[in-house]
Structure 1
Amino acid sequence: MIYPENFEYKIGFDKIRQLIADKCLSPLGIEKTEEMSFLSDYDIIKKQLAQTNEFVRIIQEEDNFPTNYFFDVRPSLKNIRVEGTWLDENALFDLRRSLQTIADIVSFLNKEDDDNSPYPHLKALAGNVITFPELIKKIDSILDKFGRIRDNASPELSRIRREIHQTSGSISRTLNSILRAAQSEGLVEKDVTPTMRDGRLVIPVAPAFKRKLKGIVHDESATGKTVFIEPSEVVEANNRIRELENEEKREIVRILTAITDVVRPSVPDIIQSYEFLALIDFIRAKAKFSLDINAIVPNIENKQQIIWEKAKHPLLYLSHKKQQKEVVPLDIYLDSENRILIISGPNAGGKSVCLKTVGLLQYMLQCGIPIPLYETSKVGIFDDIFIDIGDEQSIENDLSTYSSHLTNMKYFVRNCNTKSILLIDEFGGGTEPQIGGAIAESLLKRFNEKEAFGVITTHYQNLKHFANENKGVINGAMLYDRHQMQPLFKLSIGNPGSSFAIEIARKIGLPEDVISEASEIVGSDYINMDKYLQDIVRDKRYWETKRQNIRKKEKRLEEITSGYESDLVSIEKQRKEILAKAKQEAERLIAETNAKIENTIRTIKEAQAEKEKTKLVRQELNKFKDSLSENNAVIDNKIQQKIEKLKNRDKKKKDKQDSVKSKKEETISIGDSVRIKGQTSIGEVMDIQGKNVVVAFGMIKTNTKLELLEYVSRNQIKRENKQSGIVVSQAREQINEKKLNFKLDLDVRGMRGEEALQAVMYYIDDAIQIGASRVRILHGTGTGILRQLIRDYLRTVPNIKNYQDEHVQFGGAGITVVDIE
């Protein structure tokens, strides 16, 4: 239930409705926008929000959604209910194009099966929609692509148009002959050509020569300097043209009447299909509007709650966006513990905007429209929204402002319940403050007893006290900057706000003696209380700022720590790479040195200790040694020593392990884990008879010799299992990554045959690996060589269930659709 009747106007929803209507493509969608209303059914609201959200994704992710021809032909269809009436060419052409759009949308939404459909809620809308392929084909046989009746729409029309063409050609030839003769006689100027008057071909002639050209004068120019004569030689032919044109019109009417007789029985189904087109137009408009205001579908629960973070008034957001200004977002929390929020604060501080934001966003949500707030927000559903904003004076009904407020309050008290939300601005205002505040407090008590929800703005101190002292009601304040003397438009929940009346009076320049006297009148208690409220707000802002700064510093510290850790990992990696390279270089130098020494020794031996030869060889060796720098030699020496130590340590460790293993082999007992030397499978010893051992590998038992077995420790088993798990995990991650990045279309147009075939082979392998059921390969038509080459390969792949040309509407022979088992 919504109260009062002008609720939409008061919160600004009428402007939202108009903005959505402006985004519709046809009157079909505009009608749905006008029918949009407040809903309280949780399932319907959730479904409508899901439909809009799916269309947002279509707009963001799809390029081929059909939106070309959203025509409303319903008025024309209603006019053909009577036998003998017909659709004109324009209406028939609009009908054909809009029916094709409906068919294309249904095809788009049904392109995936139910389990894989990315748009399940929109697909459900398309489930029972009737398309009319035969009717479209029938209309195509009559109309061409420009919406004109085809010459071959009937044999009679073909004959008539052929005769018109022949007769027109004969008239043109005769006129041109007469015109040339008249030009040669000087009756007509050289640049004059035949023209059309009243549907008849005529020759423009100067009035002085009109008697010299036999024929009928049909018209003259506005200046009277030209007359248009139809030569007598073509009068009969022009008359025949007129007769043929009338025959053509009668034949076209006959053709349109015949096709209308075909359309008429399907009119109820067509109108039902237009209902689907209207819904799609409406949902699309809501999605476009949602993108304009950065709206989302929040976490919606079937209970009464308002847990909003960074909510924005959409109209204010759009207005500020044009001015390149930021909107201060609203954080508000109402739940079963704190149901009614009493907002206080200075005038023009944003209390009413806060109230209207709550009303507008909740109303939009329950009309199936996404709303602008953070994803972490939670929203609920209310059965009733009651609002009391603005001056409702009425001369006709003899109502004052206060009387109208009390009338609304009477309605609220009678009708509110646990599923209602009340939005009341300046609660208790409009009358003498003491009695107004008392009545407001009494009403607030009733609202709280009925466990209604609400957002209420006020300046009354007694209502602030009531919120502090009663469970279910909580104070809130619109913050104000005392130093800058300007509102911050930010809601703070938990404490009441000050009206800052004295500060604002000083700011606008009210005399100080007036302010002092006013302060004395209200008393020190009131002034002190207002001061305390200001101090509380100031302190809260101070600590809130402190807390935000600490959070920023903590976040920065986390980033720095993370960066250091990343740098340490990188440095360690670089250190290992440098050591590995140094080791390789050392080994290379050692190998080269050893080779040089061996070569020198062999040369000396071959020279059979010939002194000169030996001397030369030694000189060459010395040159090689000198070519190594002193630093490299030192590094070489150190690295070599390190390598030798590592080798010795590894050798000792290996010898120790071998010793332990050999020792263990001698003492292998029943229950130990073992493997056959050189194998990877691990089994359990079941029985030992001398040198013969019975080992169980899973369910299989085998007899083998003791010396063929090696003992496997528990640590080894854990290590191997972990390694196996890592391998499996890595493989699974690779497949998941492929699934995320895999596209259902492969475009090989423009590639050479070998290059395209290689790409197709990799693509099909990936498709089989991730479990794709259907893919498309775009190869173009061209000469057909690329298409044949790809299909020859597909024929050899055992996992390919079927392949064929794509539907002619989506590419035909230029695309191969592949079904995979």
Structure 2
Amino acid sequence: MQKRAWELLEFNKVLKCLSSYAVSESGAKKALALEPFTDLIQINRESSLFEETRTWFVESGFKIQDFPSLDFLFKQLSIPHFCLELETVWALRIVLTQAAKALNLLKDPKTGEVHPLYPNLCALAFAFENPKQTLQAVQRCLSDDGTLKDEASPALSLVRGELRQLHQQCTRKVKEFANTYNIAQYLQDEFMTLSSDRYVLPLKTNFKGRVQGIIHDYSQTGETCYFEPFFLVEINNRLQELKREERSEERKVLLYISKLAQEESLGISAQFNFLVELDFLQAKCVLAAAFDGHALTIDQDASINLIEARHPLLALSIASKEGVGETPKTLSLNQKRSIVQPIDLTLNSDQRVLVVSGGNAGGKTVCLKTLGLIALMSHAGLPVPVKGSSSLPLLTAVHAFIGDEQSLEDSVSTFTAQIEHLAGIWNKLDASSLIILDEFGAGTDPAQGAALAQAVLDGILEQKSYGIVATHFPSLKAYALAQQGVRAASVLFDPNTKRPLFRLAYDQVGSSQALDVAKAHGLPESVLKKAEQYLLLSGEDSSALLERLNTVAVSKELEIETLKKEQLKLKERRAKLEDSFKKEKEALFNKIQEDAHKILHQWRDNKISHKQALKELAQARTTLANTDLSSANSASSKSVDNNRQFKVGQTVVYLPWDKKGELLELDTRKAKARLEINGVRLWVGLDQVAELGSSVSNIGIVNTAQPKTQSSTGISVNTEINFALTLDLRGKRADVAISELAQFIDSAIVSGRNELEIIHGRGTGALRKEVHLFLKTFPAVKSFNLANEDQGGDGKTIVVLR
């Protein structure tokens, strides 16, 4: 992409802001070096990685702390047998400890495996083997204050133990000497100190001849001399030997750590880079939080569709003011959005160029910069201040022509500079290019400039490139309205105050409002009147018409905004109702399931009889069926218009079956209709009938014409409309037969059947007796009788449901 466009669109300012959110110097450098990507897969991978990391930061509670750079360490590790300094090892400990904490949080706490919710982040984290030995070594050998622990090695522990004993011995001798010779009055301080790694006494200078010994140094004021009495000379000589041994042992420890670090240098480098990437991603998350940003998914086949887009730098300025107290911290996200007016920047699928017109200071250039900067940021994998439903196509090149580009040194005018830059990129334009033209052609004759601008837009369309243009040329406005593939838009002004509203109205053009803007900025009235006279003489004043269009557009935008608010309220209300319905449904099924388990436990514990258990289970099923039917009927009664006028011969929908049928007869007094559905004729209530075009799914009734489903209670219910009306139980045990009979009746109830046939056979009559006993206790059964002899006699029972 063109770095010149990055400067004009101020992409570098976004990167500076991003780098300020990084906690480490390495993370800040990575942020400043960021460039937009041109590979679609890489762009979307970066977006997915950002969204994953943002979720992970929230879920894990992990937060990157400042850590040092290890660039100098990697240079040293490349030198064979190099011994790292203690400060370098301390920096290594900080990095590895923090990286290990992040890696542990990326594992599933239950299984210990890589967390499946963060595939991209885990792929980055576990790309190389962890430097476990180095981490264990630095944690074992270094204390939290950055010094080597005594237990870093056995020899070091022995040497330091002897040093402590020597210190105690020296302290005891100094006290004995001071008490014996009464020299406390000669000392500047009660305690001995170290000078050049030797124990000395802080002696007042005017008493230095009173005690025999060696003077090692003086204080800056000259009032104190650091005096080594002769009795401490031997002890100090031993101290020097022990100090030398301590340094030798410390070097051995550091050499050991250095060797481990060299062996695991790839893992150390990977973890350092991972920590830098985490810092960079955390900075992205802070940036997103500052302006409520989202990562866009770039789609090759998408069109430009930015919903409620805000200029990133303007949005960040609100966040920065809030940080220093200029903006109240109590502002909600919606209030912050209202400070920076969001706009929609959209092109239809068959459009490639957007031409923005309207008054000066109305926000045209801001629209151009908003699209350009959001395009650069999204292609760099950064979050952008738009709504989540926004989209952009792949843009591998962004070219911007904004502002005054004249150069006195190069003898180049504004118009010439624009032409030179345009000529330089013209042959490179393709379907993945975005060209931003701010009042292109305005630096020359208006007629020729407008003609040249139209020709440039024709070329952009031919190359299938994307373009956004701001203009005041009347001919270019007309071009935008008439040309295929070009969309016109206008910035809006308040019809009364003439102040800009910073909104876009599409498929119309706007007046330049030059005189109104000049008046608002203090130009003398006399000059303005003269300008109006000249404008009338030219006969080219179309401002009245355009102002009328502006007024209509403002009214339309206000109506659209009101409708969007109402739509949002309805969506929220629907979501609440659906949530409430889901909770009630789950509660109902849980209660039925709990009651069923309770009945079964009572039966197994012999607290109730088998017959009583069947009876109570049947009552539970009936309760569930009646609840579902009452809900369906309630929804149906709310959805069906009682004032509908049905006609005989009309094709209607029978709602319980969700089937079409012909209306044969109509009884308005009883509110019933006779239908013929697939050869079956039946009388139904008018509240169960809807006009053609309505359906069960449309009016919110549960569609019973679905295949066999499994309910949450674990009971399989056949809800097909065309199931058999006859159940044959011959040859089955009584308990199996009763279970099948219960399911059969449940299915009949759900399907709207009223009459059933149960074949149990004659035999001994035992099965018939069990069936009749069950039917007597089943609440949904209205009556039952043995069939006529020609229909099966006492081997079949006819059941009538309620």
Is TM-score (shorter-chain normalized) higher than 0.5? yes
What code does the residue aligned with 1:89 have?
L
Q: Verify the 8 A CA contact 1:308 1:379 in the aligned structure 2.
A: yes
Structure 2 match to 1:103: 100
What code does the residue aligned with 2:119 have?
P
Match of 1:291 among 289, 307, 325: 289
Match of 1:681 among 723, 740, 755: 740
- How far the C-alpha of 1:272 sits from its partner, in A, is 3.2
Structure 1 match to 2:159: 160
- How far the C-alpha of 1:525 sits from its partner, in A, is 7.0
Structure 2 match to 1:405: 418
Q: Verify the 8 A CA contact 1:305 1:378 in the aligned structure 2.
A: yes
Quick one: structure 1 residues 130 and 560, their matched pair in 2 at CA, closer, same or farther if it must change by over 3 Å?
A: closer
Match of 2:201 among 200, 203, 224: 203
In structure 2, the residue corresponding to 1:53 is in which secondary structure?
A: helix
- How far the C-alpha of 1:117 sits from its partner, in A, is 1.9
- How far the C-alpha of 1:87 sits from its partner, in A, is 0.8
Quick one: structure 1 residues 444 and 211, their matched pair in 2 at CA, closer, same or farther if it must change by over 3 Å?
A: same
In structure 1, the residue corresponding to 2:542 is in which secondary structure?
A: helix
**Which whole-Å CA distance do the structure 2 matches of 1:103 and 1:558 have between them?**
44
Quick one: structure 1 residues 706 and 159, their matched pair in 2 at CA, closer, same or farther if it must change by over 3 Å?
A: closer
Quick one: structure 1 residues 288 and 146, their matched pair in 2 at CA, closer, same or farther if it must change by over 3 Å?
A: same
What code does the residue aligned with 1:93 have?
W
Structure 2 match to 1:150: 149
**Which whole-Å CA distance do the structure 2 matches of 1:307 and 1:189 have between them?**
83
- How far the C-alpha of 1:8 sits from its partner, in A, is 2.0
Structure 1 match to 2:644: none
Structure 2 match to 1:441: 454
Q: Aligned ranges for residues 631-642 of structure 1 at < 5 Å?
A: none
Q: Are 1:327 and 2:335 matched, yes or no? A: no
What code does the residue aligned with 2:218 have?
E
Deviations 1:678-703 (A, max 9, x none): 945317979787x439xxxxxxxxx8
TM-score (norm 1): 0.67
**Which whole-Å CA distance do the structure 1 matches of 2:120 and 2:382 have between them?**
15
Q: Are 1:488 and 2:487 matched, yes or no? A: no
Match of 1:220 among 215, 218, 221: 218
What code does the residue aligned with 1:171 have?
C
Deviations 1:496-546 (A, max 9, x none): 111111223344454555434434434467554122111101112123334
What code does the residue aligned with 2:740 have?
S
Quick one: structure 1 residues 719 and 372, their matched pair in 2 at CA, closer, same or farther if it must change by over 3 Å?
A: farther
Deviations 1:465-516 (A, max 9, x none): 1111211112111111242232111122111111111223344454555434
What code does the residue aligned with 1:316 have?
L
Q: Verify the 8 A CA contact 1:74 1:271 in the aligned structure 2.
A: no
Quick one: structure 1 residues 719 and 161, their matched pair in 2 at CA, closer, same or farther if it must change by over 3 Å?
A: farther
Structure 2 match to 1:11: 9
**Which whole-Å CA distance do the structure 2 matches of 1:379 and 1:311 have between them?**
12
> Which shifted more, 399-408 or 79-88?
79-88
**Which whole-Å CA distance do the structure 1 matches of 2:366 and 2:284 have between them?**
23
In structure 1, the residue corresponding to 2:27 is in which secondary structure?
A: helix
**Which whole-Å CA distance do the structure 1 matches of 2:164 and 2:106 have between them?**
47
In structure 1, the residue corresponding to 2:740 is in which secondary structure?
A: coil
Deviations 1:555-575 (A, max 9, x none): 8899999999xxxxxxxxxxx
Q: Aligned ranges for residues 459-474 of structure 1 at < 5 Å?
A: 459-474=472-487
Percentage of matched positions with identical amino acids? 27
> Which shifted more, 327-336 or 672-681?
672-681
What code does the residue aligned with 1:81 have?
S
Quick one: structure 1 residues 524 and 328, their matched pair in 2 at CA, closer, same or farther if it must change by over 3 Å?
A: farther
What code does the residue aligned with 2:107 have?
N
Quick one: structure 1 residues 707 and 537, their matched pair in 2 at CA, closer, same or farther if it must change by over 3 Å?
A: same
Q: Verify the 8 A CA contact 1:215 1:232 in the aligned structure 2.
A: yes
Structure 1 match to 2:698: none
**Which whole-Å CA distance do the structure 2 matches of 1:88 and 1:705 have between them?**
94
> Which shifted more, 76-85 or 339-348?
76-85
- How far the C-alpha of 1:222 sits from its partner, in A, is 4.0
Structure 2 match to 1:92: 89
Higher helix proportion, which one? Answer: 1
**Which whole-Å CA distance do the structure 2 matches of 1:433 and 1:530 have between them?**
18
**Which whole-Å CA distance do the structure 1 matches of 2:574 and 2:169 have between them?**
94
In structure 1, the residue corresponding to 2:209 is in which secondary structure?
A: helix
In structure 2, the residue corresponding to 1:211 is in which secondary structure?
A: coil
Q: CA RMSD in A?
A: 3.7
- How far the C-alpha of 1:717 sits from its partner, in A, is 12
**Which whole-Å CA distance do the structure 2 matches of 1:101 and 1:542 have between them?**
57
**Which whole-Å CA distance do the structure 2 matches of 1:467 and 1:393 have between them?**
28
Q: Verify the 8 A CA contact 1:70 1:98 in the aligned structure 2.
A: yes
Deviations 1:104-141 (A, max 9, x none): 32332232688972222212223423202222223344
What code does the residue aligned with 2:341 have?
V
**Which whole-Å CA distance do the structure 1 matches of 2:448 and 2:511 have between them?**
21
Deviations 1:647-675 (A, max 9, x none): xxxxxxxxxxxxxxxxxxxxxxx974488
Q: Aligned ranges for residues 280-319 of structure 1 at < 5 Å?
A: 280-298=278-296, 300-319=298-317
Q: Verify the 8 A CA contact 2:60 2:105 in the aligned structure 1.
A: no
Quick one: structure 1 residues 277 and 495, their matched pair in 2 at CA, closer, same or farther if it must change by over 3 Å?
A: same
What code does the residue aligned with 1:394 have?
S
Quick one: structure 1 residues 438 and 160, their matched pair in 2 at CA, closer, same or farther if it must change by over 3 Å?
A: same
Structure 1 match to 2:699: none
Quick one: structure 1 residues 687 and 136, their matched pair in 2 at CA, closer, same or farther if it must change by over 3 Å?
A: closer
In structure 2, the residue corresponding to 1:380 is in which secondary structure?
A: coil
Q: Aligned ranges for residues 661-676 of structure 1 at < 5 Å?
A: 672-673=726-727
Deviations 1:444-482 (A, max 9, x none): 222222222111111111110111121111211111124
Q: Verify the 8 A CA contact 1:332 1:493 in the aligned structure 2.
A: no
Deviations 1:377-435 (A, max 9, x none): 23322222111112222344332221111112213432222221111112112223232
Deviations 1:617-648 (A, max 9, x none): xxxxxxxxxxxxxxxxxxxxxxxxxxxxxxxx
Match of 1:233 among 213, 231, 235: 231
- How far the C-alpha of 1:214 sits from its partner, in A, is 1.1
**Which whole-Å CA distance do the structure 2 matches of 1:101 and 1:204 have between them?**
44
What code does the residue aligned with 2:475 have?
N
Q: Verify the 8 A CA contact 2:47 2:296 in the aligned structure 1.
A: no
Structure 2 match to 1:121: 120
Quick one: structure 1 residues 19 and 554, their matched pair in 2 at CA, closer, same or farther if it must change by over 3 Å?
A: closer
What code does the residue aligned with 1:481 have?
D
**Which whole-Å CA distance do the structure 2 matches of 1:707 and 1:206 have between them?**
121
In structure 1, the residue corresponding to 2:208 is in which secondary structure?
A: helix
Q: Verify the 8 A CA contact 1:428 1:439 in the aligned structure 2.
A: yes
**Which whole-Å CA distance do the structure 1 matches of 2:576 and 2:82 have between them?**
79
Q: Verify the 8 A CA contact 1:672 1:711 in the aligned structure 2.
A: no
Quick one: structure 1 residues 28 and 206, their matched pair in 2 at CA, closer, same or farther if it must change by over 3 Å?
A: closer
**Which whole-Å CA distance do the structure 2 matches of 1:70 and 1:52 have between them?**
21
What code does the residue aligned with 1:265 have?
E
**Which whole-Å CA distance do the structure 1 matches of 2:83 and 2:573 have between them?**
78
What code does the residue aligned with 2:167 have?
S
Q: Verify the 8 A CA contact 1:157 1:252 in the aligned structure 2.
A: yes
TM-score (norm 2): 0.68
Structure 2 match to 1:130: 129
> Which shifted more, 449-458 or 147-156?
147-156
What code does the residue aligned with 1:143 have?
L
**Which whole-Å CA distance do the structure 2 matches of 1:517 and 1:106 have between them?**
74
Quick one: structure 1 residues 718 and 286, their matched pair in 2 at CA, closer, same or farther if it must change by over 3 Å?
A: farther
**Which whole-Å CA distance do the structure 1 matches of 2:212 and 2:146 have between them?**
41
In structure 1, the residue corresponding to 2:292 is in which secondary structure?
A: coil
Q: Verify the 8 A CA contact 1:86 1:256 in the aligned structure 2.
A: yes
**Which whole-Å CA distance do the structure 2 matches of 1:552 and 1:244 have between them?**
80
What code does the residue aligned with 1:100 have?
T
**Which whole-Å CA distance do the structure 2 matches of 1:106 and 1:563 have between them?**
39
Q: Aligned ranges for residues 327-476 of structure 1 at < 5 Å?
A: 327-476=340-489
Q: Verify the 8 A CA contact 2:307 2:387 in the aligned structure 1.
A: yes
**Which whole-Å CA distance do the structure 1 matches of 2:482 and 2:541 have between them?**
20
**Which whole-Å CA distance do the structure 2 matches of 1:366 and 1:84 have between them?**
45
Match of 2:534 among 510, 513, 521: 521
Quick one: structure 1 residues 8 and 179, their matched pair in 2 at CA, closer, same or farther if it must change by over 3 Å?
A: farther
